[in-house]
Structure 1
Amino acid sequence: MASDSPNVPRWTLTDTLYMLFLRMMAIICLWFALQYWAMLTGFSLEGRGRFDLLPPAWKAASTALAVMFPVAAVGLWLLAPWGAVIWVLAAATEIAMHEFYPSIFGIKPLLVIAHLAVAAVYVLFQLALFLQRRKQARQVRTDLP
């Protein structure tokens, strides 16, 4: 009976750490989303960041980010590939806001560095997973001499 059961691959340490990393990113994205929604609805910044009081550039950027971050959070939590894509779009938007338009959005070097550091960790995880899967694929092959 045991030989009839499907052979399900076990999660490696890299897979587990990657899953935890994505879930942590999801929580952080949800936090960013809540911050943008609190600003837009007037719950933070003493009401000065309400949507109707913002300049047009801030209206466009903050509403886009208020939508992108919760969508990215759901995708990252579900471990779906599109979650990382939406996160990259949101992070790139924030980086562009604060690096290329500092006169409009202000300078936030810590936020930019944090986004770049998380992106670097994500790329390292992808590389580690690629190498791990390539090694596993070589071990499974039976046609090697």
Structure 2
Amino acid sequence: MTIELTPRDGPSETLNRRLTVWLYRLSALALFTLGIGYWIRLVGVSDGPYDRFDLMPLWWKMAAPALAVLYPVAGIGLWLTAAWGAVIWILIALIEAVMHLGFPELFGGDLVWLGFHVWGLGMLGVLRIAGWREERRARGR
């Protein structure tokens, strides 16, 4: 499902859709950047104790490749404003929540990016609810 801007929409619905597209596109850029960061870690471009796949502990060997694939895929879906992009973004947020909140001794307590996920998905939820209410109000007229 893609979000299309059509002239027949009301001003508030058009604003909601435009804000949703902006949120999708900005989030897509952030997710692409995070995906590139994971790929840099996997191939060993940066210097660090666990910044190469063969030097990573087992738990990072399981998580890093999955996230390196999921981040760009979610970014593509969000850039295309497809609903499946948001679904994969939710999956990423859940995986990282389990990693950083459930096992902070293994993965660290990196809550900055988890906060990004919560804020972005929360904003998306607010925009979806506002759009749903606008559509419902327009049908009731």
Shared fold (TM-score greater than 0.5)?
yes
- Retained in 2: the 8 A contact 1:36–1:65? yes
- Retained in 1: the 8 A contact 2:31–2:71? yes
- Retained in 2: the 8 A contact 1:39–1:47? no
Runs (5+) with no aligned partner, structure 1: 1-6, 140-145
- TM-score, normalising length from structure 1? 0.85
CA RMSD of aligned residues (A): 1.7
Partner of 1:9: 8
Q: Larger RCO: Structure 1 or Structure 2 (Cα < 8 Å, ≥ 6 residues apart)? A: 2
Following TM superposition, by how much is the alpha carbon of 1:111 offset from its aligned partner in structure 2, in angstroms? Answer: 2.3
- TM-score, normalising length from structure 2? 0.87
Partner of 2:122: 120
Rounded to whole Å, the distance in 1 between the matches of 2:7 and 2:120 is: 31
Partner of 1:107: 109
Rounded to whole Å, the distance in 1 between the matches of 2:48 and 2:31 is: 23
Rounded to whole Å, the distance in 2 between the matches of 1:56 and 1:13 is: 47
CA offset digits 1:3-31 (Å, max 9, x no partner): xxxx9633611110111111111111101
Q: Does 1:132 align with 2:131?
A: no
Rounded to whole Å, the distance in 2 between the matches of 1:41 and 1:82 is: 28
Q: Among residues 74, 84, 90, which one is paired with 1:82 in the alignment?
A: 84
Where do 1:45-60 residues align within 5 Å? 45-46=47-48, 48-60=50-62
Identity %: 35
Rounded to whole Å, the distance in 2 between the matches of 1:9 and 1:48 is: 54
Supply the AA of the counterpart residue of 1:91. Answer: A
Rounded to whole Å, the distance in 1 between the matches of 2:49 and 2:40 is: 9
Partner of 1:4: none
Q: How many residue pairs align between the two structures?
A: 133
Q: Does 1:68 align with 2:70?
A: yes
Change (3 A) 1:134 1:20: same
Rounded to whole Å, the distance in 1 between the matches of 2:62 and 2:8 is: 45
CA offset digits 1:14-73 (Å, max 9, x no partner): 110111111111111101100000010111244741111111110111110000000000
